[in-house]
A = this chain, B = another copy of it.
Amino acid sequence: MPDTTQPVLRIEGISKSLGGKQILDSVSLTLHKGELKVLIGPSGGGKSTLLQCINLLIQPDQGRIWLDSEEVHVSRKRDLYSFRQQVGMIFQDFNLFDHLRAADNVAIALRKVRGWSRRQATERAMAELERVGLADKAELYPAELSGGQKQRVSIARALAMDPKVLLLDEPTSALDPELVGEVLEVIRNLAAGGMTMLMATHQMSFARALAKEILFMEGGRLIEQGSPAKLLAPGAGTRTQSFCTRLWDVSEREHPAAPAGEIGPAGTC
């Protein structure tokens, strides 16, 4: 199980401005091996920007990043590429390669980055698609896939590279409850296998069910962090707590008589 002594990924003081607005304001965090941290917060809070900065897809204005206690320098292209190979990413809007079929979307990095043969790569790609229940859609292009199918291809694509660290940007937003369950299971297994993960999500059940720690992000800063139990405890008085009970109010009003146990912390919280 998680070995918390060894930081796998560490970022310090990441700041970023876009269009003249400060989007990230000196964000620091550490991920230990096998740890899963969950990033939550209001829309536009900077979650996606942070994840992309960690991967250096967006160049932070300031800040430093270490992987396995080696600092990552953008200027050394080699290092950058190998860093990114080790840090997988699942995008909020999938960003599948439009010109490739599902199987090739998964296989292409194996071939072009890892240098695998076409056969090897396709075999692995099929195995990954199988894992997310898409073996029969391998031949379809992104435009022919449903929302949930696209999202699953993007998950398969990231997993196929066997990354050390995985950054997940709302990986289940388009999935139905059954699939959410399955993906959750996959994530749990990855964590058990020592994968380190940082996940932005709006589905608080995830945080509750899996995360060791919740990071609450608003206005480009991490304003609260702690275990789910601590932050979400009823009456904890945290921002996280109030953020997550909004939906509750709504449901409550509609079905005032419904037993709390059933509708409960409904929907996303």
Binding site for B on A (CB under 8 A): 18-19, 40-45, 47-48, 92-93, 137, 140, 144-149, 152, 170, 173-182, 184-185, 188, 202-206, 208-210, 234, 243-244, 246-247, 249-251, 254-255, 260-269
> In angstroms, how far is the closest chain B Cβ from the Cβ of A187?
10
In the complex, are the beta carbons of A251 and B209 less than 8 A apart?
A: yes
In the complex, are the beta carbons of A19 and B144 less than 8 A apart?
A: yes
Residue in B closest to A260 when the chains form the complex, CB atoms: B261
Most chain-B CB neighbours within 10 Å: which of A144, A149, A251? A251
In the complex, are the beta carbons of A147 and B177 less than 8 A apart?
A: no
> In angstroms, how far is the closest chain B Cβ from the Cβ of A130?
15
Q: Which of B173, B246, B247 contacts A173 (CB 8 A)?
A: B173
Q: Give the chain B neighbours of A249 by CB distance below 8 A.
A: 181
In the complex, are the beta carbons of B42 and A178 less than 8 A apart?
A: yes
Most chain-B CB neighbours within 10 Å: which of A19, A170, A203, A243? A203
Q: Give the chain B neighbours of A173 by CB distance below 8 A.
A: 147, 173-174
Interface of A is mostly: helix
A170-B174 CB under 8 A given contacts A18-B144, A251-B208: yes
How far is A206 from B263 in the complex, measured between Cα atoms in Å? 10
In the complex, are the beta carbons of A149 and B209 less than 8 A apart?
A: no
In the complex, are the beta carbons of A246 and B146 less than 8 A apart?
A: no
How far is A219 from B170 in the complex, measured between Cα atoms in Å? 26
> In angstroms, how far is the closest chain B Cβ from the Cβ of A218?
10
In the complex, are the beta carbons of B177 and A48 less than 8 A apart?
A: no
Q: Give the chain B neighbours of A254 by CB distance below 8 A.
A: 188, 209-210
> In angstroms, how far is the closest chain B Cβ from the Cβ of A78?
30
Q: Which of B19, B149, B176, B268 contacts A41 (CB 8 A)?
A: B176
Q: Which of B180, B188, B204, B262 contacts A177 (CB 8 A)?
A: B204
